[in-house]
Amino acid sequence: MALIKINVVLRSFFFGNCLIFSVFILFSLVISGNSYATDVVDNKDQNIIERRVENLSQDSTQKEFSPEEVVQKSEMNKKTSQPKSLPANDLPQKEVLPELRRILSKSQGATLEAVPFLRRLSQEFDVFKNDIISLATDPSEEIPIRIHMLEMLKEHSTDKDSTMGILRAFREGGPSSMVTAYAAKYLSEQGIDIGDEIINRFGNTDTAVKPFYLRSMGYLKKNDAVILIRDELDQSVDFYSRLAAIEALGRLVDIDHRSSNKLMRIARYRGRLIDGKRPAIRLEIEAQRAVFSIGMIGDVNINNLLELADDEDLTTNVRIAAVQSLKKYVKNANVDIVQSLRSIEKKFSLSNSSKSDKIRFKQMVYIVINVE
């Protein structure tokens, strides 16, 4: 028994020492591993820093960089690998338009990057005027920059040369040219009488530019164009042309009430609920636009607008458009618009419309009847 006990004690002592020794070895390896890993990382960082310093020294053969400058410049190099161009206001005059052309060509004409350059052209218009006119009227120039230059000329329309530049772009361009279409729009908004020329060109224009010409005829209030606009509204399947025709009718005098009647039909049939649900979005937009045009024609349509606002078969958006269009007529002495709208709103509040629609309708009525 004594020998067995001695043997057990010795084995316990042996295994205990082995365990302690194993832990010691493992602990040593961990420390060595961490030291090795730290050395590797330090060496890697050191190599990176050395390469950065070497690159910086190649960038400047005369200037010495402090450690802080080395870190700052290396961080900048991380963020961008290409040098940025000078801000628009710092560019020499002769470089402004070439740089703008480059930006617009790169982005197909729409970019925030171009805004500072356009702002500078506007601020220094007298300096750049001749170049702007030249670009706007040059048929070999790209369309985006020509349109931007036309817009710049429109912005400075009090300058006679600006108007003449836009007029030249309009008359020298083809009927279906987008540049010609923009020129027509800008001239008509200024009230320049090009109505007959637009009417003569309209039949030869592509669908893409027809909305520009239709709106132009509305701005110029060319009553000779009424039949042409009505026909476009009846025949065209292009959404944007139809919207433009609807807007144009609203700007023209409605001598025979035919335009008002046509717009009322559009509002009622395209804005009608279908099994209690809204129609396709484009139909509803056309109906809303028709309502606004009815309101633009004049106070002869006050009762038409009240009828639309009270029509339970129409979408809420169309009815709200009718209420909104009554705002400028609310003080009309012949019709008690305020009382009529209050009555209509009360009926609407008891309808099956959603809570949010009831709130929106009530808010619009409140805005209209409380107009100062």
Note whether 175 and 142 are within 8 A (CB): no
Over pLDDT 90: what percentage of the chain?
Answer: 62
Mean pLDDT over residues 49-71, rounded?
41
Distances (CA, A) of 23 to 16, 19, 26, 137, 254: 11, 6, 5, 87, 101
- pLDDT computed for residue 298 by the predictor: 87
Distances (CA, A) of 230 to 43, 218, 343: 81, 12, 35
Q: Pick the more confident residue, 294 or 62.
A: 294
Q: How many whole angstroms separate alpha carbon 99 and alpha carbon 121?
A: 12
Highest averaged pLDDT of the listed ranges 75-79, 93-97, 307-311, 326-330: 307-311
Binning pLDDT at 50, 70 and 90, where does residue 332 land?
confident
SS3 122: helix
- pLDDT computed for residue 81 by the predictor: 45
Q: Side chain identity at 284, as an amino acid letter?
A: E
- pLDDT computed for residue 109 by the predictor: 63
- pLDDT computed for residue 372 by the predictor: 61
Mean pLDDT over residues 92-119, rounded?
85
Which among 360, 356, 268, 369 is positioned nearest to 310, based on CA atoms?
Answer: 268
pTM of the model: 0.72
Q: What is the pLDDT of residues 236-255, one digit of tens each?
A: 999 999 999 999 999 998 88
The encoded tokens of residue 37 equal 């890993």
DSSP assignments along 210-253, one per residue = HHHHHHHHHHTT-GGGHHHHHHHHHH---HHHHHHHHHHHHHS-
Q: How many whole angstroms separate alpha carbon 369 and alpha carbon 59?
A: 71
SS3 35: helix
Q: How many whole angstroms separate alpha carbon 98 and alpha carbon 337?
A: 58
Q: How many whole angstroms separate alpha carbon 275 and alpha carbon 279?
A: 9
- pLDDT computed for residue 124 by the predictor: 94
Q: Side chain identity at 180, as an amino acid letter?
A: T
Residue 140 has pLDDT above 70, yes or no: yes
* Number of other CB atoms surrounding residue 286 within 10 Å: 23
Residue 219 has pLDDT above 70, yes or no: yes
Which residue's entry shows tokens 């802080």? 68
List, in order, residues 6 or more apart from 308 with CB less than 8 Å away: 264, 267, 268, 291, 294, 314, 318, 319, 321, 322
- pLDDT computed for residue 106 by the predictor: 79
Q: How many whole angstroms separate alpha carbon 319 and alpha carbon 361?
A: 8
- Taking the chain, what is the end-to-end CA distance rounded to the nearest angstrom? 115
The encoded tokens of residue 31 equal 């420390």
Q: What is the largest CA-CA distance in the chain?
A: 131
Q: How many whole angstroms separate alpha carbon 85 and alpha carbon 91?
A: 9
